[in-house]
Chain A
Amino acid sequence: MTIEVTDQVNATLFSKVQDLVAQVFGIPVEKVLPESTPETIDTWDSLQHLNLVLAIEQEFHVQFTPEEIEQLQSVELISMLVEEKVSACEVADGR
């Protein structure tokens, strides 16, 4: 299944986020869409949100602030913020 991703989000990165979301929420990866939110994924509760944040931080070697964690309200928003953070790390590393 091909997922439509906005221009802003790198497809590889989105695919990784998609895998993590599927794994943490215990749903098939094809059910994870950019527009997926806590309203559309039954198992996306506050506890699993925490586990998702932890999984993403470990996978991408980034850290979110409490304010950013509250902003992670859809798979697309998560992917966009992760991409911002990963890019910032690459710039800081001189890559």
Chain B
Amino acid sequence: MATSVIEPKLAIRKFEDLQVGEECRLTRTLTAADVDAFARVSGDVNPLHMEDGFARESGFRGRVVHGVLLASFVSTAVGMQLPGPGSLWTQQSFRWRLPVYIGDTVTITLKITFKSAGTRTVSISLTAVNQTGAVVMEGEGAVKLLEERTAREEVPMNERLALVTGSAKGIGAAIATALAEAGASVAVHYHTSAEQAAGLCQSLENQGCRAFAVQADVTGPDSVSQAIARIEEKFGRPVDILVNNAGLSNRAGAFLETPWELIQSALDVHLKGAYHCCQRVLPGMLERGSGIVVNIGFAGSAPQLPFTVAKSALRGLTRSLAHEYGPKGIRVNMVSPGMVEIGAGDQVPERIRKLQAMQAPLRKLCTPRDVAQTVLFLCSDAGRLITGADIPVSGGLNPA
């Protein structure tokens, strides 16, 4: 019976850990039982392998071991040692230099000669020697290290840190509340609404949630960076979820009456603000190989021009980031509310709100909670295959 001198390693190697020049060795002593068993399996009962007398009369010193039986031990070395379990042997050449006889001890050496990171494949050289050191078989091959099929583990919500910009009130506050109630630690960002942000945090903490109010001007990179540093210090972990909700509404007007400054100020808050926040949190997400960004858009009709322009730009940023960072485990989506039923203090006239509601197939305006629940869905494991999407939360009244 063949004997192995090397214990098989069942651990799956990381491709990155394989090194050019790395070697493995496998030693086997070939027995008559091995050759008989191989003859049964393969059906190759050539007398050169099976009959001692025939082999000797043919000029050999005894029964010759099947060349492919020897090659099968290369499969063992590839599959169990280098690269080992989880590898797929994609090509191999063999040159048999000398016959191997029953009783010979053969040592197979595999060596990595080239690594192809793009294909996760290594080229290997093969040399097999007998007990005298004579080369009996040589060749070259290639082996692909398969990627582990285990799904990327999502970080549980109660271990996540979420930053919701512009969350002292309105939609942002509803999103911060939903995330906090789902278990996440939440940073409630505000620009000028300090009192409301503090009130929301207090309310969440009273419910047993973890929340922290933080001030920043999202249009300034230093302000954003310092705020996020405070959040991460407070909770002792990097931001896992970023919701870019901060925005401003400015007066509606016809294009010819809209000065560029109004558009610029909308772009500054909606787009530049999201840009600075993403710039600050994405490196950490990349390092961990996971992260979620949700940008808040708009799906209503008859919008204000600067607001529409800024939200359209934010949609472009969403798609670009989703495309670029999807392969790195980061999901980027947009949630676009229609006209939102905010309640008292709403600047939109009652008649317009009722009209919007009547025009929507579901005959309802969306509430901050509707938006928050959609954001929560995208941040949960249920949304793990969604990226680059713009989900309207508008009762079916979608923009063209």
Contacts and interface: CB of A to CB of B under 8 A. Distances in A.
B90 A57 contact: no
B117 interface: yes
Given A50-B144, A54-B123, A58-B123, A63 B90 contact: no
Nearest to A72: B118
Contacts of B394: none
Interface residues on A, range: 10 to 19
A92 interface: no
Tell which of A57, A64, A66, A69 has the most Cβ of chain B within 10 Å: A57
Contacts of B142: 50-51, 54
A68 B118 contact: yes
Given A58-B123, A69-B119, A50 B90 contact: yes
A47 B90 contact: yes
Contacts of B118: 53, 57, 63-66, 68-69
Interface residues on B, range: 10 to 19
A51 B123 CA distance: 10
Interface string B91-127: 1000000000000000000000010111101010000
Interface in A57-93: 57-58, 63-66, 68-69
Contacts of A65: 117-118
| B-side interface mostly | strand
A54 B142 CA distance: 8
A93 B35 CA distance: 54
A58 B91 CA distance: 15
Interface string B363-400: 00000000000000000000000000000000000000
Contacts of B90: 47, 50-51, 54
A54 B114 CA distance: 9
Interface string B114-156: 1011110101000000000000000000101000000000000
Interface string B325-337: 0010000000000
B114 A50 contact: no
Given A57-B114, A58-B114, A50 B119 contact: yes
A65 B117 CA distance: 7
A58 B90 CA distance: 16
Contact of A50 (B117, B121, B327): B121
Given A54-B121, A57-B118, A64-B118, 5 more contacts: A50-B121, A53-B121, A54-B90, A63-B117, A63-B118
14 contacts: A50-B90, A50-B142, A53-B116, A54-B114, A54-B116, A54-B121, A54-B142, A63-B116, A64-B118, A65-B117, A65-B118, A66-B327, A68-B118, A69-B119
Interface of B: 90-91, 114, 116-119, 121, 123, 142, 144, 327
